[in-house]
A = this chain, B = another copy of it.
Amino acid sequence: MSVPRVALTVDLVILTVREQRLCALTWMRDSEPYRGCWSLPGGFIQLDEDLPVAAARVMDEKAGLADVRIHLEQLATFGYPDRDPRQRVVSVTYLGLAPNLPASSRAQVTWKPVDVLLAREENAFDHRRILRDGVERARSKLEYTPLAAAFCPPEFTVAELRRVYEIVWGTPLDPRNFHRKVTGADRFLVPTGTTTTRDGGRPARLFRRGGAVQLHPPMLRPSA
């Protein structure tokens, strides 16, 4: 029995926080279609390759973030027939949250603020839609998982973590109540025992990510 076969890609929504803004890793296209438009880093899946493996390979080859072991989770699959003008291509997308890192050395790959990307129209395929879904997923994941810490360097202060929440959610948070909530949440943060004054003022305790997978209790967004 013969069945239709389609080309399958993995496309990545890699987010970070840098210079007080939520940014996504973009690939500037230098060939048709959509030459000169931004796209998400992506690549075709090999026949013998598992989906997460393909995602990790694209992280390496296209995004230039090979060494960095960042959290990658499946976002959604996009496959309406004409999303790629050349042929039927179905895209399995992954969401990753990274600390503020230099991206690839290639000029083609850069961090861009998501609000700029979502406002501009010059995007390839349906990648603006995919980015929007990824950002929304990240926003809600911050509520009930400890993934906000994935945006931070290995050691960070409570205030730095709060800045992540404020930038991703786009809302100011009360520093005092935030402090109590995150330090009280089960296995969210583990103190290193050291402090830093890099943010000015009184020395702040440094923390590392704890082993929690879910957040109890969750950090809920202000009612919006």
Contact = CB atoms under 8 A, between A and B. Distances in A.
Interface of A: 3-8, 44-51, 74, 76-81, 88, 90, 92
A76 B79 contact: no
A6 B4 contact: no
A47 B80 contact: no
For this chain, the copies found in one complex come to: 2
Contact of A3 (B7, B48, B78): B7
Contacts of A3: 7, 44
Contacts of A48: 81, 88
B8 A90 contact: yes
Contact of A88 (B47, B76, B77, B90): B47
Nearest to A51: B79
A95 to B, nearest CB: 13
A6 B47 contact: yes
Given A5-B8, A8-B90, A51-B79, 14 more contacts: A3-B7, A4-B45, A5-B5, A5-B6, A6-B8, A6-B47, A8-B8, A47-B88, A48-B88, A50-B79, A51-B90, A77-B77, A77-B92, A90-B92
Contacts of A80: 50-51
A92 B79 contact: yes
Contacts of A46: 4
A110 B48 CA distance: 34
A49 B6 CA distance: 11
A19 to B, nearest CB: 32
A6 B45 contact: yes
Contacts of A90: 8, 51, 92
19 contacts: A4-B7, A4-B8, A4-B46, A4-B47, A5-B8, A6-B8, A6-B47, A8-B8, A8-B79, A48-B81, A50-B79, A50-B80, A51-B77, A51-B78, A51-B80, A51-B90, A74-B76, A74-B77, A90-B92
